[in-house]
Amino acid sequence: MNAWMRFCRSRLALVGLVLVVVLALSGALAPWLAAYDPSLESMIDKRSKPIGKYLIGAVEFGRVIISPVIYG
């Protein structure tokens, strides 16, 4: 119990724990969190600007950037 109490007193350790849990949950819930298929290509939306149709934008092949990031 002593180690857990020391861990809980360290704010940096708690922030690290929260980040690890958020990353693990986003990876586990990726099919439900990602709005678009990570391998979907659309030549119409090629090089789409951020905050247009997609949250972060699209690359030159028309793939949405945020979906592969969530899956990764």
Which residues, 6 or more positions from 2, have their beta carbon under 8 angstroms from its beta carbon? none
Both tokens of 56, joined, read: 């972060």
**What are 7-42's pLDDT values in tens digits?**
999 999 999 999 999 999 988 988 888 777 777 776
Evaluate if residue 48 carries a pLDDT over 60: no
Both tokens of 30, joined, read: 């990726």
Q: Is pTM, for the whole model, over 0.75?
A: no
